[in-house]
Amino acid sequence: MAIRQMAQSDDRSAARAPRRVLIILLGAIGDVVRALPLLGRIRRGWPEAHIAWAVEPKSRPILERHPWLDELIVYERRRAPWSFAPFLRMIRRGRFDLAIDLQRHLKSGLISLVSGAPDRIGFAAANAKEWNHRFSTRQISPQPRMRLKLAQYQAFGDALGLSETPIEFGLQLGADEAARALAHLEGLPRPLLGVILGSSWPSRIYFPEAVAATIRELTTANGAAPLTPILIGGPEDAALGAAVMRELGAAGARDLTGRTGLRDLIAIFGECAAAFGPDCGPMHIAAAVGCPIVSLWGSTAPERSAPWGNAHLAMRGEIPCHPCYLRECPIGRECMRRIAPADVAAMVRRALRERRPRGLSSLTNNSGCGSATDATAAAHQERS
């Protein structure tokens, strides 16, 4: 049941509830997923409000038909710059009372200003980029740089006076959508292992031979049911998928790279017993639907971006330059090379043993991020 139908508004926020709310978060898939709990909090606090979200096409599928959202305003970036003016006109026509800028860039600040909303809330100057804070009428308190993104977004709910709510994402599919997605898994024996291959940053990608070695470790029974691996990635990851399949042999996995959309992943990860892969949007989708996810970290930091509820399963190779936040690595992704496949497999086995019934968790019981070094040490302990 949608939150709009089941929630009563909080007394503190009801008196000043806006009629029309605009959320501005255009791009990264993982960021959009991690902002969904804020959307749910807004919907609970202001059940009668009209909530719109300004987004780019790559993240649009996450928000399509979302039960807590009333409207999507899509910026067709692939046709920029000609599409920006019509997009801004759509924003202006929304007649919003409140704009929430989660993007913190010049472009999102301009969108917030053009919305005409008298109340525009954004990040503090210490966290904003490109003078973004000058476009807002008020800012949230400065956020620690390495605070989890999801928690940073929740700070907007605090600033808006909304009651704390359980952390939930509301990702769901219609019956027809789910059936089409699950057709990709037809005939595969359970339990399934999700293997995420790609990332938008080349510096974050795990090596195909290491992926294959991890899979081999996990498809040997060792007294337990062997896992059935499925390779997950977009069309741009086809070469990665082919390289892994060459390492494994034709029967080593089912290669779904380029065959699934983002919405398919909601159902597919829901069927997986566990998953592993690098820092990327699908990693956050897996966590959002309750799939235990072992995340592998190179140029970016799990302290800021670990998937919700799975921070203790984050792993990184120890190297002085981590995290560098470089899209291209000048030393051949040495940080990723130092993550041993046997350790990844051991951490996946740990995740399987710890696996909890899927449900909701609150922000207060996962407000921080466990040490990735501790996670690697725990994997070594699993092996011994």
Domain ranges of the chain: 3-159, 177-383
Please give the order of strands across the beta sheet that includes 20-24: 71-74, 50-55, 20-24, 98-101, 119-122, 138-139
CATH superfamily, domain 3-159, is Glycogen Phosphorylase B; (3.40.50.2000)
- 3-state helix/strand/coil string of the chain: CCHHHHCCCCHHHHCCCCCEEEEECCCCHHHHHHHHHHHHHHHHHCCCCEEEEEECHHHHHHHCCCCCCCEEEECCHHHCCCCHHHHHHHHHHCCCCEEEECCCCHHHHHHHHHCCCCEEEECCCCCCCCCHHHHCCEECCCCCCCCCHHHHHHHHHHHCCCCCCCECCCCCCCHHHHHHHHHHHCCCCCCEEEEECCCCCHHHCCCHHHHHHHHHHHCCCCCCCCCEEEEECCHHHHHHHHHHHHHHCCCCCEECCCCCCHHHHHHHHHHEEEEEEECCHHHHHHHHCCCCEEEEECCCCHHHHCCCCCHHHEEECCCCCCCCCCCCCCCCCHHHHCCCHHHHHHHHHHHHHHCCCCCCECHHHCCCCCCHHHHHHHHHHHHC
Residue 213 half-sphere exposure, CB side, CA atoms within 13 Å?
13
Asked if the model's pLDDT at residue 80 lies above 90, the reply is: no
Instruction: Give the mean pLDDT of 224-232.
Output: 87
Given this model, what pLDDT does residue 375 score? 43
Q: pLDDT tens for residues 185-215? A: 999 999 999 999 999 999 999 999 999 999 9
The whole-chain average pLDDT of the chain stands at 89
For 132-146, 232-246, 352-366, which range has the lowest pLDDT when averaged over its residues?
352-366
Asked if the model's pLDDT at residue 66 lies above 90, the reply is: yes
Please indicate whether residue 348 or residue 380 has the higher confidence score (pLDDT): 348
Instruction: Give the mean pLDDT of 83-105.
Output: 95
Given this model, what pLDDT does residue 312 score? 97
pLDDT band at 16 (very low <50, low <70, confident <90, very high): confident
pLDDT band at 250 (very low <50, low <70, confident <90, very high): confident
Given this model, what pLDDT does residue 356 score? 63
Given this model, what pLDDT does residue 221 score? 58
Q: pLDDT tens for residues 126-156? A: 999 999 999 999 999 999 999 999 999 999 9
Q: Measure the CA–CA gap between 196 and 234, rounded to whole angstroms.
A: 10
Q: Which residues contact 116 (CB under 8 A, 6 or more apart)?
A: 92, 95, 96
Please indicate whether residue 134 or residue 220 has the higher confidence score (pLDDT): 134
Domains 3-159 and 177-383 share a fold: yes
Q: Measure the CA–CA gap between 192 and 173, rounded to whole angstroms.
A: 20
Checking phi first, is residue 161 left (phi over 0); if not, alpha (psi -120 to 50) or beta?
left
Given this model, what pLDDT does residue 351 score? 96
- Residue type (1 letter), 70: D
CATH number attached to the domain at 177-383: 3.40.50.2000
